[in-house]
Amino acid sequence: MMTRGICQLPPETQLEIWFAVNHYDDFSEGNDPYGEHDFGSVDIIGVGKIFWKIDYYANAKCDAGCPDPADADNSFRVLTIMLAEEY
């Protein structure tokens, strides 16, 4: 899922953001203390800071949190990419 701010960027910029999120691997104790790898931020020249977050739901309706996100068969995951200012 992309927020309105990301959707309003030029397609080339959106691709650059997707690439940066896809290749993100800068996890550390400071920014990922629980080792979940479900949040990150990247800086995109000309745009600024971009946040991405993975949320875990019990179903595709996204109306209830998932009790065990590690169980891929019984969780529905949503990746949201947003401008930091939209947070």
pTM for this entry: 0.89
What is the span of the domain harbouring residue 65?
4-86
Looking at the 3D structure of the chain, how many domains does it have? Answer: 1
Strand ranges of the sheet holding 48-57, from the earlier edge strand across to the other edge: 39-44, 48-57, 76-83
The 3 state secondary structure assigned to the chain is CECHHHHCCCHHHHHHHHHHHHCCCCCCCCCCCCCCCCEEEEEECCCEEEEEEEEEECCCCCCCECCCCCCHHHCEEEEEEEEHHHC
Provide φ and ψ at 73, rounded to 5°. Answer: -75, -20
Q: Tens digits of per-residue pLDDT, 33-73?
A: 999 999 999 999 999 999 999 999 998 888 999 988 888 88
pLDDT at 73: 87
pLDDT at 24 exceeding the cut of 90: yes
Q: What share of the chain in percent tops pLDDT 70?
A: 100
